[in-house]
Amino acid sequence: MAGSFCSRGLPLEGMVILLGIIIFGFGIGECNLMPGKKIWEVREKIKHLKSNTVSRLQRGDGDIIDCIDIYKQPAFDHPALRNHTIQMAPSYDPNIEETATKANRLQNQDSSMSLASRLWQKSGSCPKGTIPVRRLPQKVPLKTNSLEDYGRKKPSSSPPLTRINKDISSNLQQSNRSVAILLTEGYSYSGVKGDIKVWNPHVESDDEYSTSQVSLKSGPYYDFESVEAGWAVNPSVYGDRKTRLFVYWTADASKKTGCFDLTCPGFVQTSNEIALGAAIYPLSVPSGLPYQITLFIFKDPNTGNWWVQYGEKINLGYWPPDLFAWLRGNAETAEWGGEVYSSKLEHPPHTKTAMGNGQFPDYVSGNSGCIKRMRIRENSLVLKFPEWVSTFSDEYRCYDAEYIGDYIEDPEFYYGGPAGEFGLKNVFCFQISTSFLGSSYASIYVSGDVFPRALRKESLFVNGVNGKTKARKHRSEISRRLKLLNKPAVKTIKSEDGDIIACVDIYKQPAFDHPALKNHTIQMQPSFIPSTETPNGERENSRPVVSQLWKKRGSCPKGTIPIRRIRRRELLRTNGRKSPEHLKGTNKTATQDRFMHLNNTKGPMLYPTPENRSTAILLTYGYNYVGASGEINVWNPRVERLPEFTTAQIWLKSGAVNNFESVEAGWTVHPAEYSDARTRFFVYWTVDGYKKTGCFDLTCYGFVQTSTEIALGGAVEPGSSSFQQQYVLPINIFMDPTTTNWWLVFHDIAVGYWPGSLFSSLKHSATSVEWGGQVYSVNVRKTPHTKTAMGSGYEAEELYGFACFIGQPRILDYSKSYKYPTFVAVWKDEYNCYSAVNYKAGKANDEATFFFGGPGQSYRCP
pLDDT for the residue 549? 92
pLDDT for the residue 604? 45
Q: Which range of residues forms the domain containing residue 602? A: 493-853
Domain boundary among 403, 437, 459: 459
Q: 55 burial class (0-12, 13-18, 19+ CB within 10 angstroms)?
A: middle
Judged against a pLDDT cut of 90, whether residue 547 lies above it is answered with: yes
Determine how β-strand 849-853 pairs with β-strand 835-839: antiparallel
| Mean pLDDT across 218-234 | 93
Question: Does the residue 479 lie in any domain?
Answer: no
Give the pLDDT band (50/70/90) at residue 102: low
| Mean pLDDT across 357-365 | 87
Judged against a pLDDT cut of 60, whether residue 284 lies above it is answered with: yes
Question: Does the residue 216 lie in any domain?
Answer: yes
Higher local confidence (pLDDT), 386 or 270: 270
Same domain for 504 and 436, yes or no, is no
pLDDT for the residue 113? 57
Question: Does the residue 102 lie in any domain?
Answer: yes
pLDDT for the residue 690? 87
Of 4-8, 499-503, 682-686, 828-832, which range is least confident? 4-8
pLDDT for the residue 470? 53
| Mean pLDDT across 293-313 | 95
pLDDT for the residue 164? 28
| Mean pLDDT across 177-184 | 94
Size of the chain in residues: 862
How far lies 222's CA from each of 90, 209, 340, 391, 599, in Å?
31, 21, 18, 20, 72
pLDDT for the residue 567? 77
| 102 CB-near residues (< 8 Å, 6+ apart) | none
Judged against a pLDDT cut of 50, whether residue 569 lies above it is answered with: yes
pLDDT in tens, 319-328: 999 999 999 9
**Peptide bond before 784: cis, by omega within 30 degrees of 0?**
yes
Same domain for 388 and 506, yes or no, is no
Phi, psi of 38 (to 5 degrees): -70, -35
Annotate 59-70 with b (16+ C-beta within 10 A) or e (fewer): beeebbbbbbeb
Judged against a pLDDT cut of 50, whether residue 7 lies above it is answered with: no
pLDDT for the residue 156? 59
Give the pLDDT band (50/70/90) at residue 475: low
pLDDT for the residue 40? 57
Same domain for 674 and 742, yes or no, is yes
pLDDT for the residue 337? 98
Question: Does the residue 440 lie in any domain?
Answer: yes
**Mapping DSSP to helix (H, G, I), strand (E, B) and coil, where does residue 181 land?**
strand
Q: How is residue 718 annotated by DSSP?
A: P
Of 366-370, 449-453, 495-499, 712-716, which range is least confident? 449-453
Same domain for 431 and 550, yes or no, is no
**Mapping DSSP to helix (H, G, I), strand (E, B) and coil, where does residue 719 land?**
coil
Helices (H), 30-178: 36-50, 99-108
Question: Does the residue 196 lie in any domain?
Answer: yes
Higher local confidence (pLDDT), 572 or 299: 299
Same domain for 725 and 818, yes or no, is yes
Of 92-106, 216-230, 386-400, 417-431, which range is least confident? 417-431
Same domain for 235 and 380, yes or no, is yes
Judged against a pLDDT cut of 70, whether residue 283 lies above it is answered with: yes
Residue 205 to residue 429: CA distance in whole angstroms = 19
pLDDT for the residue 595? 44
What number of other Cβ atoms are within 10 A of residue 773's Cβ?
29
Judged against a pLDDT cut of 50, whether residue 4 lies above it is answered with: no
Helices (H) and strands (E) counted in the chain, each on its own, are 7, 47
Question: Does the residue 114 lie in any domain?
Answer: yes
| Mean pLDDT across 816-843 | 92
pTM of the model: 0.57
Same domain for 433 and 505, yes or no, is no
pLDDT in tens, 32-46: 444 555 555 555 655
Question: Does the residue 430 lie in any domain?
Answer: yes
pLDDT for the residue 518? 81
Judged against a pLDDT cut of 80, whether residue 237 lies above it is answered with: yes
Judged against a pLDDT cut of 90, whether residue 364 lies above it is answered with: no
Question: Does the residue 19 lie in any domain?
Answer: no
| Mean pLDDT across 92-117 | 60
pLDDT for the residue 147? 52
How far lies 408's CA from each of 97, 198, 773, 806, 814, in Å?
19, 22, 33, 37, 46
Same domain for 657 and 789, yes or no, is yes
| Mean pLDDT across 49-54 | 65
CB 855 within 8 A of CB 787: yes
Higher local confidence (pLDDT), 411 or 228: 228
Same domain for 152 and 291, yes or no, is yes
Helix (H) or strand (E) holding 696: strand 695-696
Structural domain count of the chain: 2
Same domain for 67 and 201, yes or no, is yes
| Mean pLDDT across 816-833 | 93
- Dmax over CA atoms of the chain, in Å, equals 105
Same domain for 387 and 257, yes or no, is yes
Of 251-255, 587-591, 856-860, which range is least confident? 587-591
CB 786 within 8 A of CB 666: no
Average pLDDT over the chain reads 80
Judged against a pLDDT cut of 90, whether residue 814 lies above it is answered with: no
pLDDT for the residue 179? 94
Give the pLDDT band (50/70/90) at residue 286: confident
Judged against a pLDDT cut of 70, whether residue 452 lies above it is answered with: no
pLDDT in tens, 607-650: 566 789 999 999 999 899 999 999 999 999 999 988 899 999 99
Same domain for 555 and 453, yes or no, is no
pLDDT for the residue 531? 75
pLDDT for the residue 476? 67
Of 571-580, 655-664, 668-677, which range is least confident? 571-580
Domain boundary among 406, 436, 459: 459
Give the pLDDT band (50/70/90) at residue 86: very high
**Mapping DSSP to helix (H, G, I), strand (E, B) and coil, where does residue 373 land?**
strand
